[in-house]
A and B are shown apart, each in its own frame.
Chain A
Amino acid sequence: MNSCSIANKHLLATILIATLGLQLAACGGGSGSSGGGQGARILHASLDSAPFNLTISDRPDQPVLFARFGLPTSYAATPKGEHILTATSTLGGSTFSFAVPAGHPTRQSILIYGSRGISGLKATLLADEPGGIPPNSSALRLINGAEDLKALSASAGGTNIAQNLPLGGASAYTFVVSGALEIVAQEYQNAPFYRDTHELLPGKSYTVLVAGESRLMVTTRVLEDG
């Protein structure tokens, strides 16, 4: 179960509301699918930003992904050799390009985070590769894309997967025993703003993406990485 935390300046406390359906598989938003091969996706975490299109240098006039805030996209197939990934706002004005060398990671994510009106809009290219996952284990990491959440921590089944992660940060993958695990996310030592149980499959890797603006709305989603 994914959730949205609502921060309303008229309330004394943040309200945790869990309403969204299970979204373990990255889905929707993309015209391409890597089908188990190489690929790139966009993780759009900026609440005040328009959708982004992803283009690849081998076909720069054909967007391969359309990414909305907080909603996962599939992976778009990318060439094996060197290429350039470009994420462009559908409103124009914001473009992020990344030169990807030959021998690059099998799967990558462009994280778009921050806020045009607060800290500025930023992007970073992340490798979605946990390395060899031990038997009967899953790999899990935390990404902090939420404006004003300065130090995020998360655990899965009681195992810490990240501590004090700043805005724009992605933790290293942590291996956990597969199964139904409670995933908890919090800022500093504050009460958790996210707590839910997810079925993590053996051999699979996952990202806990926290996105939005703490003063308005934060979404937390558990995404399968490939």
Chain B
Amino acid sequence: MTYHSRLPLLALLAVTMLIALPAQADNFLQDLNGDGQVSFVSFGDSITLGDGDGIRPKQHVSRVPDGHSGTGYSARLEAWLGIPAMNGGRGGEYLTAGGLYRLPGLVLSSNADIVGFMEGTNDVFGHANLGNAERDYQRAINIILALGRQPLMLTLPQTCCNRSRGRPGLSYLSNIVRTLAAANQVPLADVERAWGSVCSGAGECDLLCIPEGLHPNTAGYDLIAQTAAAALLGIDVFAPDGAAKLEQALGWAPGTVLIRSNQTE
């Protein structure tokens, strides 16, 4: 994707101007802790960590090599939005079995104003009891808010190919995340919906390592980060002009945003 070579100064200027404009009700890039900067930390599993990042679309990957992690979506947010972003992903982590216990310490050890939360994929493939998932997602939101930070909830990217059996479980969890984001009035980056605008069904998907079908590739991480960036900027990326607004906000060429509007998941 050529936009990675965009002059960073232009992007930074664009974002600075956006932040300097009269406050938009939905712009979540706020310095909540008063340290003079807006910063971000991501919490999640290997998909947050960035496993599979660096693998190109259509490159044959039956299993993502151990230790093959790129920078993931948080580093892209840092580059595009000009805000420090820490990667708090941990490979193999379950939401319903231990992941939540790591969250308070991670948040407190960072000075992040915004916490991106995306976890649950391992719970689906590990046959965890998803009956506790709603309460655990709610706990996560409450923990982040009580610690004075802004949660950004992300739904889960879909799978395909060798991992297509996880699709119903992932959708189940993503629906919970959507419902809770609305009930809690916190921002939502609907990654699953964005995913579905590019890849439909359980067949091959250019956003995933193929035929492994679980971890995003470089394009997949681009899409996750684009969805998150739009949410943080208060842009409805699924609106007919949403992609254009995001491109304009970040100084990108038309057509850079992967998400297609007016698509149902």
Contact = CB atoms under 8 A, between A and B. Distances in A.
Interface of A: 4, 6, 8-10, 15, 17, 19-21, 47-51, 66, 68-71, 89-91, 115-117, 212-213, 216-217, 219
A104 B185 CA distance: 33
A42 to B, nearest CB: 14
A48 B147 contact: no
A4 B108 CA distance: 10
B132 interface: yes
21 contacts: A4-B146, A6-B104, A8-B104, A19-B147, A19-B148, A47-B139, A48-B135, A48-B136, A49-B138, A51-B185, A68-B145, A69-B142, A69-B146, A71-B146, A90-B183, A117-B135, A212-B146, A216-B100, A216-B143, A217-B104, A217-B143
A19 B138 CA distance: 22
Contacts of A20: 147-148
Contacts of A217: 104, 143, 146
B101 A51 contact: no
B180 interface: yes
A172 to B, nearest CB: 27
A14 to B, nearest CB: 11
B95 to A, nearest CB: 13
Contacts of A212: 146
Interface string B170-186: 00000000011001110
B145 A50 contact: no
Interface in B88-142: 98, 100-102, 104-105, 108, 132, 135-136, 138-139, 142
Given A69-B142, A69-B145, A71-B145, A216 B101 contact: yes
Interface of B: 98, 100-102, 104-105, 108, 132, 135-136, 138-139, 142-143, 145-148, 179-180, 183-185
- Which secondary structure characterizes the binding site on chain A? loop
Contacts of A117: 132, 135
Contact of A90 (B104, B146, B148, B184): B184
B108 A19 contact: yes
A6 B104 CA distance: 7
B105 A68 contact: no
B149 to A, nearest CB: 11
B224 to A, nearest CB: 26
B184 A70 contact: no
Contacts of B101: 8-10, 216
B74 to A, nearest CB: 22
Contacts of A17: 108
A80 B200 CA distance: 58
Among B139, B179, B185, max chain A CB count under 10 A is at B139
A115 B148 CA distance: 22
B146 A216 contact: no
B32 to A, nearest CB: 11
A50 B148 contact: no
A19 B104 CA distance: 12
A97 B131 CA distance: 28
B139 A51 contact: no
Contacts of B108: 4, 6, 17, 19
A217 B108 CA distance: 12
Among A71, A216, A219, max chain B CB count under 10 A is at A216
Contacts of A21: 148
A48 B139 CA distance: 5
Contacts of B136: 48
Contacts of B143: 47, 216-217
